[in-house]
Amino acid sequence: MKNMLGGESTGAIPSPVDAATVVLVRDVESGPFEVFLMRRSRNQSFMGSAFVYPGGKLDPEDVAPDLAAWGRGVTIDEARRALNENGLPNETVLGLYFAALRETFEESGVLLASRADGERIDFSDPAVQKRFGEHRRAVLAGKMDLKSLAEQEGLRYSLDRLTPYAHWITPEIESRRFDTRFFLARIPRDQVPVHDSIEMTESLWITPTRALEDARAGRLMLMPPTYKTMEELSAFSTLDALLASAVRRPPKTIQPQPFKEGDLFGLKLPHDPEYGIEAYRQPHRPDEPCRIVMTETGWRAYCYQDFQAMREGKKG
């Protein structure tokens, strides 16, 4: 039986699977910074047709002990502090960074890496584009891993280009649950993201404000974590300000709590005054949206006071 968020309800609560996703951002001369989104195939059983950031689950190859030597810019201790998760095993800490790198390369073709001597990879060269396009297909097919790619091309993975930003855990009512760390990354010069045309069938660059407008109008399907992230990003006028804020503000874990009141249903976030999961509860922030509600055109976030007004209106 489907639960109210579209998943299949089961008796047992599944454990969440570690995952990583990357919010690729770029400066735009004529206006605010933009964010890269891809549309999942409508045939996907999980979030079909939704616009998402590149990302996916942590694979065994991401936590391989010998992979760490091919990354640079972030130590295990620095990564753990940035993630704000003191209890994570060492291999998982860096594994999340490598999963973020790998999934971004697989799904968008963007590779956060440089030559071993620090020289950037010249993706404006058609021959380089062609060769790394072949590498991407090999990684997607499971015929090449990150270590093999680094050895063959003389690379080091730029872990320091990833800035931990958010941490979302799928609600317990869902049959497929993920423990997802969101990273911010400024896209490297000369690289152009392209969706894989397999899992992802469309892609676009869009400002956070425009993404929210399109989502509220029903033109862009955004799932709650994507919607809330876009809402937060829209508060920043420059990319430098966003990245500086992310460095100063370690992520706090968000496990939304589902609610249903008559024909109103959605998710309470940890700073909602009615949120009831003690392990993740945060102080109430009255001016910040704390409840994500399903509307006729899709998900939408409300401050508690605005939700109360809507709740009373429904009663009336």
Give tens-digit pLDDT for 69-120. 999 999 999 999 999 999 899 999 999 999 999 999 999 999 999 999 999 9
Does 129 map to a domain?
Answer: yes
Is residue 263 scored above 90 in pLDDT?
no
Our CA dihedral for 37, 38, 39, 45, rounded to 10 degrees, sits at: -110
Q: Are residues 148 and 287 in the same domain?
A: no
* pLDDT range class, residue 151, cuts 50, 70, 90: very high
DSSP 205-247: EE-HHHHHHHHHTTSS---HHHHHHHHHHTT-SSHHHHHHHHH
Question: Can you give the pLDDT at residue 201?
Answer: 73
Question: Can you give the pLDDT at residue 241?
Answer: 96
CA-based R_g, the chain, Å: 20
**Average per-residue pLDDT for the chain:** 91
> What are the tens digits of pLDDT across the range 34-70?
999 998 766 555 555 789 999 999 999 999 989 999 9
Is residue 224 scored above 70 in pLDDT?
yes
Question: Can you give the pLDDT at residue 1?
Answer: 34
CB atoms closer than 10 angstroms to residue 42: 9
Q: Are residues 137 and 280 in the same domain?
A: no
Does 304 map to a domain?
Answer: yes
Does 142 map to a domain?
Answer: yes
Q: Are residues 152 and 241 in the same domain?
A: yes
Does 241 map to a domain?
Answer: yes
Is residue 27 scored above 50 in pLDDT?
yes
DSSP 131-190: HHHHHHHHHHTTS--HHHHHHHHTEEEEGGG-EEEEEEE--TT-SS-EEEEEEEEEPPTT
Q: How far is CA 297 from CA 36, 203, 218, 262, 315, in A?
A: 22, 21, 4, 18, 21
Q: Are residues 137 and 206 in the same domain?
A: yes
Is residue 180 scored above 90 in pLDDT?
yes
Question: Can you give the pLDDT at residue 18?
Answer: 97
Is residue 3 scored above 60 in pLDDT?
no
Q: Are residues 220 and 98 in the same domain?
A: yes
pTM of the complete model beyond 0.85: yes
| CA distance linking residue 64 with residue 69, whole number of Å | 10
Does 3 map to a domain?
Answer: no
Task: Tally the domains of the chain.
Answer: 2
Does 177 map to a domain?
Answer: yes
Q: Are residues 282 and 133 in the same domain?
A: no
Domain of 170, in residue numbers: 17-255
- Measured at the CA of 177, the angle between CA 147 and CA 36, to 5 degrees, comes to 60
Q: Which of 211, 235, 255 is the last residue of a domain?
A: 255
Q: Are residues 119 and 267 in the same domain?
A: no
Q: Are residues 247 and 150 in the same domain?
A: yes
Q: Which of 255, 271, 301 is the last residue of a domain?
A: 255
> What are the tens digits of pLDDT across the range 195-223?
876 777 789 999 999 999 999 999 999 99
* pLDDT range class, residue 274, cuts 50, 70, 90: very high
Q: Are residues 218 and 269 in the same domain?
A: no
222 Cβ contact list (under 8 Å, min separation 6): 50, 51, 211, 215, 230, 298, 299
What average pLDDT does range 136-157 have in this prediction?
96
Which phi and psi (to 5°) does residue 98 adopt? -70, -35
Q: Are residues 202 and 87 in the same domain?
A: yes
Does 8 map to a domain?
Answer: no
Does 49 map to a domain?
Answer: yes
237 Cβ contact list (under 8 Å, min separation 6): 32
Q: Are residues 60 and 205 in the same domain?
A: yes
| CA distance linking residue 52 with residue 17, whole number of Å | 18
CATH assignment of the domain containing 157: 3.90.79.10
> What are the tens digits of pLDDT across the range 167-179?
999 999 998 999 9
Is residue 262 scored above 90 in pLDDT?
no
Q: Which of 217, 237, 255 is the last residue of a domain?
A: 255
